[in-house]
Amino acid sequence: MAAKEIRSHLPGIFYRSSAPDQPPFKADGDPVAVGDVIGLVEVMKSFHEVQADVSGTNIRFVVENEAPVTAGAVLAKLDD
């Protein structure tokens, strides 16, 4: 079974929730549908939603919250 990947479309800082006092959009192990928001990327004080372009189960984040990312970086992996 090959893992599916969700990648960042922009370089910036990756956030798993909308604010520090809010729960993450998705927790490790959650299922994901196409279009689900899994996080935000901040670019020059603008926040851009990261929406899943694939669906799957058991999301596993490979990038830590508040970590810098490059365009094309893998943010999370999903099982079929």
Residue-range domains of the chain with CATH: 4-79 (2.40.50.100)
pLDDT of residue 80: 87
DSSP letter for each residue of 10-68:
S-EEEESSSSTTS--SS-TT--B-TT-EEEEEEETTEEEEEE-SS-BEEEEE-S-TTEE
58 with 78: CB under 8 angstroms? yes
Per-residue pLDDT of the chain (80 residues; tens, 9 = 90+): 568 999 999 999 999 999 999 999 999 999 999 999 999 999 999 999 999 999 999 999 999 999 999 999 999 999 98
pLDDT at 1: 58
Tokens of 68: 């810098």
In this structure, the number of other CB atoms found within 10 A of the CB of residue 36 comes to 17
pLDDT at 3: 85
